[in-house]
Structure 1
Amino acid sequence: MEALAYEVDCWQDFADVIAAGIGRVLLYGPPGTGKTYAALHAGTSTAFAERLICTEDLTAGEITGTWMPGREGVFSWREGPAIRAWRGADGSGARLVLDEVDRASGDALATLLAVTDSRESARWRHPETLEWVRPGPNFSVVMTSNIEELDDLPSSLLDRFAVRIRVDRPHSGALSQLSVDLREAARRGSVGPSDRRVSLRSFYAYDELRTLYGANRAARLVFGDNADAVLDALRVGALA
């Protein structure tokens, strides 16, 4: 089956895909555009979402679970986010958000392949109870990545995700967390050439700091040498 790749109206595409019940979606594109925000909130109003941030040092235990010491030196098993998402609050499954998945490698990547497999094929043996655990019917996975090209992801992992949506604009819900006067500047600044991008996280920090220290100092703290240019852009936007 040919993979689907979307580049226009990315957030409407994502909403439609989630509404259709597609259980494996990849969001990729510039950092700081609200990919994680959308992955955590879209279609999860009545359920929780588990989030896992992938790093080069991520271990299989951080995905499925690990033994933890308790009282009197007795160890017990603590399930990881992937298995908690398989189960969900009531056993029917929940959303698993895999952030920056391109950074995972080694054993962690092999484990991610296992937990993102189809519901018919995926299963995991609980090391404490020895029960076989399978994902619930409502289990879904949204992967996010800051890559620009899909070739930067392992083909074995991409094969799990037939719908791959390139994010080319910030999510409106993420923008709404900002003060009104910053939203248009944040929308424009979070996309475009990589050497000129300003992530939504930077605008969040600026928005919070300026209430305490004023616009000029907040801009210096967040934007550094680019503070004057950012402030000028904000002033122009306010006059537009």
Structure 2
Amino acid sequence: MSASENGKKTLLEFVGVHTFYGPVEALKEVNVHICEGEIVSLIGANGAGKTTLLSTIFGNPRASTGKILHRGEDITKVPTNQISRRSIALVPEGRQIYQEMSVEENMMMGTTPIGMDHFDEDRTTMFDLFPRLRERRNQTAGTMSGGEQQMLAIARAMMARPELILFDEPSLGLAPLVVKRVFEVLREIAAMGKTIFLVEQNANHALKLSQRAYVMVNGRIHLSGDSASLLDNAEVRKAYLGLH
């Protein structure tokens, strides 16, 4: 059975995962676990392997050795299209919204894993969370600002009613005020009972939001622990927070 923390069941776990891009080993003996109801962050420099870790969950690329477990079940070789049906959603780096579709059409695309039965109800919930999307519901998504597109990418993921949401660099390329709002939204989503795994270069924001965190260096988990301790860690402060 998977590990548990503070009596909570483990939702997702990497056990000794190695992943390659061709001859290059991108993940090296990675062990990570995320329990129900947690916010867990993964920080590290650009190119450390953070996005690869998320991509490996969906089998692109596949783990070469080791296992990825969802609720204790090995999903390492499960087809990509079936992973999203396991109540796991990804908010990808760079947002990757459907540029030529309207806001509402993008939200409809988010229901693909579960169907449209709850669309009206969930659309209302998302419009309450993101009032700007209500205002722009018929606007072509590609004409919106970066911050608005990020909110849409989050709303689209939420339309699948996931229990676990993976966020890949949600603050990337956004103005400081917008970044602040994005992290407020993540806190609100966690308060809805969602589990969050946050991959983020902005270590300060990530560590202040999450309960636990991992630090990745060159494809390996270099440090791990509760986020408050890592915020005070001299190595983390120097390497990722610009502090001494």
Q: Same fold (TM over 0.5)?
A: no
TM-score between the two structures when normalised by the length of structure 2: 0.32
Q: Which has the larger radius of gyration?
A: 1
Instruction: Indicate the structure with greater strand content.
Output: 2
TM-score between the two structures when normalised by the length of structure 1: 0.32
